[in-house]
Amino acid sequence: MQVRCAAHVLALVVKDVVLLYHKSVGRIRSVIKFVTGSPSRLAKFKECAALEKIDCKKMVFLDVKTRWNATYLMLEAAIPYKKVFKRLEREDKSFRSKYIFKESESEALPNTDDDTVVIDNEDYYLSSSSESECEGDVSRKKNIKKKNKPRHHAPYAADWSYARCLVKCLKIFFDVTVKFSASVQVTSHEFLWQLALIHEQLVRLRTTGNRDPHISRMAEIMFRKYNAYWGDYEDMNSVMYFAKLLDPREKESGLKFDLECLYEQDDFRVTTVLKAVKQDMGRLYDEYTSMYSNDNAEEGTGSTAAAGVDDMTFWERMKIKGMIGLRDGWTVIFYWSAT
């Protein structure tokens, strides 16, 4: 459940950035909708792709507007066909009449200096209706919206640049979301490391301003919103840290490494979280000991230790019990057979 919530937080971060560049995304989406709208248009598109010698097996397709991961996949597939759409502007009369008209490019492009999202495209409004509205009223409103829908110009060069940067930034979140959303394998032990990967990659992309200011700007917005949505790692449910501790490949050293990445080598905060997690796990261990032990004396000892667990006491107990095999020649097979 906690991992699913993490995937939802990532979606919130990404949606803000996608909406900021919704004008550029909307123009690319519109031309894709045009070429996939009929077999003849798609055939013309493939013909132009052959003339441009575009060797790409993945064909363009429309996204689901309300799903950022679908938008990411749509942009990823469309970027290699940039020259093909430019060729359509020259060779396809119907494409030219629909998408080429006078428009102020500076006003049409997104304002990347302000990350306040203002939606002026009805594609991004979710239609809703109350129970008192009849189907005719809803249909009439949809028809009015369709008539008032603004025209889309063909994508500008800047639109493709924004799309390329979006794909690079969104790939970070897309890959992690795929891992978080896995339903046939355990994902809780990878949770913290995936967050550390996002943190490290966003920090790296923020520093690429001299090479690509667009990527740097997007990464800065994502990083700021990521921190705002996620909050402090000190307040995270300790159970999420337990999964890392109980992973026989990671244990305390793996948890410490991930925290060092997230806290950017802030030793004090890393030590504080580690101490709190170990204490919580010690209390949990003592609670289970008191529940399942047949020895009343052990139950009393467990409940006493739960009030104030010494850091080393817990790990020594775990080592003696053989739950964590800190010994020469230890293997995963040994761990599984012992537990």
Phi-psi region of 247 (alpha: psi -120 to 50; beta: other; left: phi over 0): beta
Q: Is there a domain that residue 258 lies in? A: yes
Q: Is there a domain that residue 296 lies in? A: yes
DSSP string, 172-232: HHHHHHHHHT-SSS--GGGHHHHHHHHHHHHHHHHT-TTT-HHHHHHHHHHHHHHHHHH--
Buried b (16+ CB within 10 A) or exposed e, 205-240: bbeeeeebebbbbbbebbbebbeeebeebeebebeb
Residue 290 lies in domain: 240-339
Q: Say if pTM beats, i.e. exceeds, 0.75.
A: no
CB 181 within 8 Å of CB 134? no
Q: Is there a domain that residue 322 lies in? A: yes
Q: Would you state the pLDDT for residue 122?
A: 41
Residue pointed to by tokens 């369709």: 146
Could you give the CA distance from residue 208 to residue 206 in angstroms, rounded to a whole number?
6
Q: Would you state the pLDDT for residue 331?
A: 58
* Non-local CB neighbours of 2 within 8 Å, separated by 6+ positions: 188, 191, 237, 239, 240
Q: Is there a domain that residue 207 lies in? A: no
Q: Is there a domain that residue 189 lies in? A: no
Tokens of 277: 């997690």
DSSP string, 309-339: --HHHHHHHHHHHTSS--STT--HHHHHHH-
For 331, list phi and psi in degrees, rounded to 5: -135, 165
Could you give the CA distance from residue 6 to residue 176 in angstroms, rounded to a whole number?
10
Name the domain count of the chain: 1
Q: What letter would DSSP give residue 132?
A: T
Helix (H, G, I), strand (E, B) or coil at 255: helix
Q: Is there a domain that residue 229 lies in? A: no
What parts of the chain have a pLDDT lower than 70? 1-5, 112-148, 184-186, 209-210, 231, 294-339
pLDDT tens digit sequence for 168-192: 989 988 988 888 777 766 677 778 8
How far out from the chain centre does Cα 240 lie? 18
Could you give the CA distance from residue 24 to residue 285 in angstroms, rounded to a whole number?
54
